[in-house]
Amino acid sequence: MRVPPRIMRRLDTLGKRPPSGLLRLTWRVDIDSPLDWLRAQPLLPRLYWRSRGPDAVEHAAVGAADERPAEDGLPPALPACLEDAEARYFGGLAFDPRDAGWQGFGAGRFVLPRLELVRRKHAAELCLNLLFDGRDPDAELEAARAALLALRDARPAEPLSPVVTGRHDTPCRDDWAGWVDRATSSEEQARAAKVVLSRQSRLLTRVPVDPWVLLDAWRRRARHCFHFGFQFSPEATFIGCSPERLYRRDGARLLSEALAGTCRRDGDAARDAALAATLLADPKNRRENQLVHADILARLAPLARHASLAEPGVVRLRALQHIRRDIEAELHPWVRDRHLLAALHPTPAVGGTPRDAALAFIRRHERHRRGWYAGACGMLSREAAELTVAIRCALVTAEAVSLYAGAGIVDGSVPDDEWDELEAKIADVMSLLV
């Protein structure tokens, strides 16, 4: 992949008098598919992020100019020299701050990429990040040159084909029924009105699945979702198409949402509308959503001057419909992303409420490691941040694709109905693999 000569000349100039702080060198590129570009690059980590919405900006990035592990289950503070710079860190947090997370991912990490491809509508640019924060400037310049020399042209992918040879669910259906019965018992309901239980469906594959090809095919079926991918080592990649925003922060303005309560889609517009009306009127699903938005508003109260809750609506995805209530808040000037994540993550939509009691139930019963499933992932910067709740996701390794799905268990939940909901939540990606 050709790098403009002016970029290499600028690196030579910097060697004579290195600046301080962050320097971003940017040039236009002709790249239609950031995911095709990403899968061709040899440099790790590989990162992908696209916000929700038809005009959302795509980010595909490789390498690390700076990397920060999570601290006590919270995102790191940005380096002081980046406080006024346009520095975007991409990464995520595990669901449970007390869990070490998946191997290679840890409890959380955020990366300022060495090279960041940014695509807005029909225009793309590539950015080289250099960080002069007291480190050896010669070593930083050499790392930047090496990253540029390693760049490769985009590589179109072969279409996906069926590859699954077996499936193992954890828990099995009988164990799931036992968990739901236990969670809805009067004893447990007195502790936690809602517990979100999850399942891991491990799909064994006859050949390795290219995670970026799978994500590309998946996102075309989930256009109204957040799209993300994180690969820190050759052994595993975490990808997903999540419908749920944890929060978006623009300065002091915060947007969040309560996404809970689910029914299927039928495919016929009139029947879908009838199903949506039934969903909004259903006591069990209304209660599930109410528990979520009440908890979010209570947790935002100390951080915000004002918070408001919109009327309930229905979000229609390809196979499912969810109740959603938008939340908007004006944050106090001292609030940072660490405060927001400490308050909001994990939300009742993926953990339950009260949080501590729900997490205690999950820790006692779930035998699989959630890792970054139901965690928080996205982009952080000084002026803005956006994170999605990491649901509708998969962990891809050489021998398997592990799918994760959860269901909110409240009084009135029926084990078979909740199991069917899990199946519906993984249906899109399953259909690409079997």
Q: Report the candidate in 411, 427, 433 with the shortest Cα–Cα distance to residue 183.
A: 411
Q: Do the strands 21-29 and 58-62 form a parallel or antiparallel pair, or are they unpaired?
A: unpaired
Q: How far is the C-alpha of 204 from the C-alpha of 127, rounded, in Å?
A: 38
> Which residue ranges make up each domain of the chain?
5-149, 164-433
Amino acid 61: pLDDT: 98
Q: Report the candidate in 56, 55, 79, 85 with the shortest Cα–Cα distance to residue 67.
A: 79
Helix or strand run (H / E) with residue 314: strand 313-316
Q: How far is the C-alpha of 306 from the C-alpha of 419, rounded, in Å?
A: 39
Q: How far is the C-alpha of 376 from the C-alpha of 349, rounded, in Å?
A: 12
Q: How far is the C-alpha of 55 from the C-alpha of 248, rounded, in Å?
A: 16
Q: Are 131 and 88 in contact (CB under 8 A)?
A: no
Torsion of CA 419, 424, 430, 431, to 10 degrees: 140
**What is the pTM for the complete model shown?**
0.95
Q: Are 255 and 328 in contact (CB under 8 A)?
A: yes
Which residues have a Cβ under 8 Å from the Cβ of 406 and sit 6 or more positions away? 196, 197, 198, 199, 350, 374, 391, 422, 425
Q: Do the strands 58-62 and 115-120 form a parallel or antiparallel pair, or are they unpaired?
A: antiparallel
Amino acid 83: pLDDT: 59
Give the mean pLDDT per block of 10 residues along the chain (434 residues). 93 86 93 96 98 92 93 71 75 88 90 96 93 90 96 90 94 97 97 96 96 96 94 97 96 95 89 94 92 94 95 91 96 94 93 95 95 96 93 97 96 95 94 92
Q: Determine whether the annotation assigns residue 421 to a binding site.
A: yes
Catalytic residues: 194, 244
Strand, helix or coil for residue 175? helix
Amino acid 394: pLDDT: 98
Amino acid 20: pLDDT: 84
Which residues have a Cβ under 8 Å from the Cβ of 287 and sit 6 or more positions away? 410, 411, 412
Which amino acid type is present at position 195?
V
Which residue pairs, CB below 8 angstroms and at least 24 apart, start in 38-41? 38/62, 38/117, 38/212, 38/229, 39/155, 39/157, 39/210, 39/212, 39/213, 40/152, 40/153, 40/154, 40/155, 41/150, 41/151, 41/152
Which residues have a Cβ under 8 Å from the Cβ of 279 and sit 6 or more positions away? 261, 262, 263, 285, 314, 321, 323
Strand, helix or coil for residue 74? strand
Q: Report the candidate in 372, 371, 391, 344 with the shortest Cα–Cα distance to residue 196.
A: 391
164-433 fold = Anthranilate synthase (3.60.120)
Which residues have a Cβ under 8 Å from the Cβ of 270 and sit 6 or more positions away? none
Q: How far is the C-alpha of 79 from the C-alpha of 130, rounded, in Å?
A: 14
Amino acid 383: pLDDT: 87
Q: Do the strands 46-50 and 313-316 form a parallel or antiparallel pair, or are they unpaired?
A: unpaired
Residue 255 C-alpha from the chain's centroid: 16
Q: Determine whether the annotation assigns residue 71 to a binding site.
A: no
Amino acid 101: pLDDT: 77
Amino acid 140: pLDDT: 95
Q: How far is the C-alpha of 226 from the C-alpha of 218, rounded, in Å?
A: 11
Q: What angle do CA 423, 425, 430 make, to 5 degrees?
A: 70
